[in-house]
Amino acid sequence: MTESSTVLQPGSLAGKTALVTGSSRGIGADTVRYFAEAGANVVINYRNKAPRADKLGAQLRELGVEALVVGADLTDPVSVEAMFAEVERVFGSLDILVLNASGGMEAGMAEDYALQLNRDAQVRVLEAALPLLGRGSRVVFVTSHQAHFIRTTPTMPEYVPVALSKRAGEDALRERIPELADRGIDFVVVSGDMIEGTITATLLERANPGAISSRRESAGRLYNVSEFAAEVALAAVEAIPADNTRLVGDISSFEAE
């Protein structure tokens, strides 16, 4: 994890509050750090890594911002409601919501777990956050090219269930864009290739040895965690493309719909 950065202008998010789901490690942790470095108060969400989340919270408080650490299983409606009740109690409102948490390759989960987490839970989190999101706020959904382009470009078999469920989640969230616009809430999808050093990449490599190096060779290069997190953080503040989609890195091997 990067110790410091100038991804966002220092002080540019002072007085704002940002919540990043799945932010105890990886892309989520670096994204929430970039927000804190820009002066935002932050909400660190984790499912089962409390010590790591608490450590990150302590680090970010040293930057002079407030950091609320909240455990929540996003597939559990009661857990999600409790998380946002705590956010409202501490901060009163929310300016940035990053839907980063995803999964589906974990062992021992229910057959429909990928769909529960990557579609149903994403919509549930957005709905629970809506009362706290005012005009001028922004929702960012994080996905992969392999999921975003799954209808037109095949991906490795091991990733197909995740890709299909993440695309279903993206579609379900996109259906809410008119409602969000009426409320003055911006929405943007950030899509990137396989990211070096993520849990997903590790699991894919384990299931399909050579998959990541093959993808790296095909793409020319793959972003690492901190580089992609920087793109996610920028997506929370920069102008939104007309199609509400921020594509990160090379997409020449993916066929648009």
Quick one: pLDDT at residue 5? 60
Task: Report percent pLDDT > 70 for the chain.
Answer: 98
Task: Report percent pLDDT > 90 for the chain.
Answer: 75
Confidence bin at 246 (pLDDT 50/70/90): very high
- Least confidently predicted of 3-7, 166-170, 193-197: 3-7
- 8 A C-beta contact, residue 58 and residue 257: no
Sequence-distant (≥ 6) Cβ neighbours of residue 145 within 8 angstroms: 153, 191, 192, 193, 247, 249, 251, 254
**Mean per-residue pLDDT, 171-184:** 98
Confidence bin at 1 (pLDDT 50/70/90): very low
Over the stretch 17-75, which tens digit does the pLDDT of each residue have?
999 999 999 999 999 999 999 999 999 999 988 999 999 999 999 999 999 999 999 99
Confidence bin at 2 (pLDDT 50/70/90): very low
Half-sphere exposure of 78 (CA within 13 A, CB side): 0
The pLDDT of residue 169 is above 50: yes
**Mean per-residue pLDDT, 227-250:** 96
Quick one: pLDDT at residue 20? 98
Better-predicted residue by pLDDT, 65 or 210: 65
Q: Which of 96-110, 128-142, 209-223 has the highest mean pLDDT?
A: 128-142
The pLDDT of residue 6 is above 80: no
Confidence bin at 3 (pLDDT 50/70/90): very low
CATH assignment, 17-194+223-248: 3.40.50.720
- 8 A C-beta contact, residue 161 and residue 114: yes
Over the stretch 84-119, which tens digit does the pLDDT of each residue have?
999 999 999 999 999 999 887 777 777 788 999 999
- 8 A C-beta contact, residue 31 and residue 228: no
The pLDDT of residue 9 is above 60: yes
User: Alpha-carbon distance 188 to 172, whole Å?
Assistant: 13
Mean pLDDT, the chain, integer: 92
